[in-house]
Structure 1
Amino acid sequence: MGHDDSTHLLHRLDRRMYRDGRPGRPARLMNRLTALAASAGLSPRRLVTLEVSGRRTGRVRSLPVVVADHEGERFLVSMLGEDVNWVRNVRAADGRAVLRHGRRAAVRLEEVEVGARAPVLRRYLALAPGARPHLRLDRRAPLEEFERIADRIPVFRIHPDTANG
């Protein structure tokens, strides 16, 4: 099996773990373990745990996310698009959240306007191979292809939250 064949198989498996844009049982378990490693600082620096209050329960929800750096700023991207709980929770919390990678950092997540998302999305795909099957773009695709999907993929700029830090 060549590189392209094995990559295609992994992408199909990853899409299957997130049927209908929701993580299934294996994906939830993998996310829990990855979040624990990221929180403890045992993962690459770009992999962190996002903690945000649930909009209905108020309970803190945690999940692993990849931080994309672009032009000196840091961003979070929703690889599964608009219809995911963490995006809804961040919006309901007025962008207030915590990022953990060995230590806690209070942050404010500011949604990036659609017209400015494409270069961040391309950078994100370069850093997050697990997101590639969901966005269904090559990380080296022209910027125009990223512009076509930008309205469906939320991107948040990370700011320190000095008021809650």
Structure 2
Amino acid sequence: MYRGGRPNPLARAVNRLTAWQFSRGAGPDRLVTLEVSGRRTGRAVSFPLVAADLDGERYLVAMLGEDTNWVRNLRAADGRATLVHGGREPVRLVEVEPAGRAPVLRRYLAVAPGGRAHIPVDRHAPLADFEAVAARYPVFRITPDARPD
């Protein structure tokens, strides 16, 4: 469904449905819809994601890598976005340097079975295996956004 790192028409339809479900609060709290301004249109664009928790922090991982639309939109929006799961949470997503991504990637694969097909490391692999691929998968720490719109 993601040949070449891009969703095919079926994947896009499933993503729209999943984003709608997550935003309504379906499933565990880690299932979220990320709303971010489109870098070209400025309109809000929604993406269903899984938030990984680690050491009291929450993170979002781009399982398709650097060239993912939500990552490019987020960078253009200076990290400002909204997470939706029942309620709305304005957030600022802070990109984690590649050197700090490996533990988050391992935790992500533990809680996001859908990501396992896209990150070429077994979820039980040693941390060194995650370090070897960490630079290819952007990771963002979720922080509150207290700035007014």
Please indicate, yes or no, whether the TM-score normalized by the shorter chain is above 0.5. yes
User: For residue 116 of structure 1, what is the aligned residue in structure 2?
Assistant: 100
In the alignment, does 2:69 pair up with 1:85?
Answer: yes
Q: Secondary structure at the match of 1:134?
A: coil
Higher strand share: 2
Match among 65, 82, 96 for residue 98 of structure 1: 82
Identify the structure with the greater helix proportion: 1
Matched, 1:142 2:126: yes
- TM-superposed CA distance for 1:137, in Å, is 1.4
Offset of residue 59 of structure 1: 1.0
The reply to whether residue 53 of structure 1 matches residue 37 of structure 2 is yes
Does the 8 Å contact 1:77/1:153 carry over to 2?
yes
Structure 2 spans left out of the alignment, 5+ residues: none
Answer yes or no: is the 8 Å Cα contact 1:47–1:66 preserved in 2. Answer: yes
Alpha-carbon distance in structure 1 between the residues aligned to 2:148 and 2:93 = 13
- The whole-number CA distance in structure 1 between the counterparts of 2:135 and 2:26 is 34
In structure 2, what residue type is equivalent to 1:25? Answer: P
Question: Aligned with 2:118: secondary structure?
Answer: helix
In the superposition, the TM-score normalised over structure 2's length comes to 0.98
Identity value in percent: 66
CA distance in 2, matches of 1:28, 1:82: 19
CA distance in 2, matches of 1:24, 1:69: 29
Which residue of 2 is the match for residue 25 of structure 1? 9
TM-score (ref. length: structure 1): 0.88
Give the deviation of 1:164 after TM superposition. 3.4
1:152 matched to 2:136 = yes
Superposed CA deviations along residues 89-110 of structure 1, whole A, max 9, x for unmatched, are 1001000000000010000000
1:163 aligns with 2:147: yes
The CA deviation string for residues 84-132 of structure 1, in whole angstroms up to 9 with x for no partner, is: 1100110010000000000100000000011000000000000000000
CA contact (8 A) 1:110 1:156 kept: yes
Taking the TM superposition and a 5 Å limit, the aligned residue runs for 1:123-138 are 123-138=107-122
Matches of 1:20 and 1:32 in 2, distance apart? 20
Write out aligned runs for 1:52-71 (5 A).
52-71=36-55
Counterpart of 1:40, as a letter, is R
Residue-pair matches, total: 149
